[in-house]
Amino acid sequence: MSHNNELAVLLDGHHAATITRASDGKLSLTYTSEHLALPAPTPLSLSLPIQESSHSDKRVSMYLRGLLPDRSDVRLAWAQAAAAAWDETPAPRGAEDHFGLVRAIGLDTPGAALFTPVERIEDALARVGARTPVSEGQIASRLRALALDGTRWHREHDSWSLAGAQSKFALGRTLEGVWYQADGAAASTHILKPGIPHLPHQALTEHVTMHAAAALGLRVARTEFGTFEDQVAIAVERYDRTIGPGGEVTRRHQEDLCQALGVSPDKKYAADGGPTPQQIASLLRAYGGERDVEDFARGLIANALLGAPDAHAKNYSILLAGDQIRLAPLYDVATGLLRSTDGRFRYGRLAMSVGGANRIGEIGLSNWERCAAVLGLPSGWVLAEVDRQLDLLPGTLGAAIDALPADTPGLDEMRDEVLPNIANVTVLNRSNMSRRGTSTGRRSALDRLADERARTLHRTSVDPEPSALDTPHLSHGFEEPGLSM
């Protein structure tokens, strides 16, 4: 068989598996004897467990698909760029050629695995690559390019891949704070995102929400909000990378829960047939333990109370090391309680239902009790955690806003728009906890909230009344609790 149809998977510093594409296009994955001989080899995915026989097409394809952007237009742009740039490598056949795309740009992917043509194994194992410093102006230029064309994640010859739908790109940063482009097999350390265009100040909203979630006691990825010339972005520190005291970057293996369950990214939402809280809890309990199920429950509760609508299965991940797993820190947590450019709340439903309810601000006591049963947790524990988080909101969000520099773009909108909306939804959620169910008629709680907010803004524009927030201060950065595998 031609080497063009073989893809080496490097993990834990050696050739761990080979992915083969047959003449009919079907894929298979076979672990190497070297990897199988380890006392506790790390699987590429829970959906591709360690075994001597080969894994067949569907789950291999779903795993590779999960390494790539959700958007087909971005994948198509990458395929076209690879066709023009890598003359010596067979070009990907298009947006759906997951094997070809990963073969072309698989040296820095989510997790610790490196994917390379078999003839380049030695270079990849030696981490042949470069850290090319980039200036503030160059980062600003990339952010401007994304604003004009949401498919322009890559520069020419980039060798990294990120999943998801939101426009982004990967960079590295040294201990001294110098940004660099990770070329070849060099590892990136951060993900930069300019935010969703139709949601004003969305990048700042995500940063504030992530810091509020950390103040709630949840394990979350570290974030910073930065300005690069006239452009803003959230910089997310990759939890699947660690930087040693000498500046060396080590990859940690991870996968999202669609990959772990062998589910297509097209079904990441439970409403589309994707993973449900019950399936996720069962997976975590089988491979991890109660600690991971409880951490997942805390995340599910926080996303519901914060009105964060995008906590689907690809926005939860696990870290893998040998035969152990750990639920990864939360990421991409952003409240949806910020009105879009048309003045309405664009997102009114959660990605996963809570005990049969998924409308933000309309989850009742009985829903949380059913949720506890689905997760296999005591209802008293779940209800106490809901109560604890409600007590801390919106103070933690207000503190996260107060921690920002006074000249942060969008700060006033955070105080005047997001904070009051969180406060109002918190009142709704607290009220819902006092009754068995919620029935609000055909109009959602968020529709009514938008109307009330508009009336309030109209009244204050005529006869403004001063208000003050008495909230604890949250430092600009935070320390993530230590992770143990």
pLDDT tens digit sequence for 132-170: 999 999 999 999 999 999 999 998 788 899 999 999 999
Is residue 374 scored above 60 in pLDDT? yes
Q: Looking at residue 484, what is its pLDDT?
A: 34
- Listed residue (123, 245, 403, 385) closest to 114, CA to CA: 123
Neighbours of 29 (CB within 10 A): 22
Predicted model pTM: 0.89
* Average pLDDT of the segment spanning 27-48: 98
Question: How sure is the predictor about 482, in pLDDT bands with cuts at 50, 70 and 90?
Answer: very low
- Going through 72-206 in order, the beta strands assigned E by DSSP cover 114-117, 129-133, 169-173, 179-184, 190-193
State the architecture of 255-462 in CATH terms.
Orthogonal Bundle (1.10)
**Three-state SS at 108:** strand
Give the list of residues 6+ apart from residue 479 with CB closer than 8 angstroms, or none: none
User: Does residue 182 surpass a pLDDT of 60?
Assistant: yes
Q: What is the dihedral of CA 239, 184, 105, 22, to 10 degrees?
A: -110
Q: Report the pLDDT value the prediction gives residue 467, as an integer from 0 to 100.
A: 30
Residues of the chain with CATH 1.10.1070: 255-462
Number of Cβ within a 10 Å radius of residue 439: 7
Please choose, from the candidates 83, 122, 123, the residue with its C-alpha nearest in 3D space to the C-alpha of residue 104: 83
* Mean pLDDT, the chain, integer: 88
**Overall average pLDDT of the 262-273 stretch:** 94
CA 230 to chain centre: 26
Query: What would the mean pLDDT of 252-272 be, rounded to a whole number?
Result: 96
pLDDT of res. 156: 79
What pLDDT sits at residue 93?
A: 75
Among residues of the chain, what percentage have pLDDT more than 70?
86
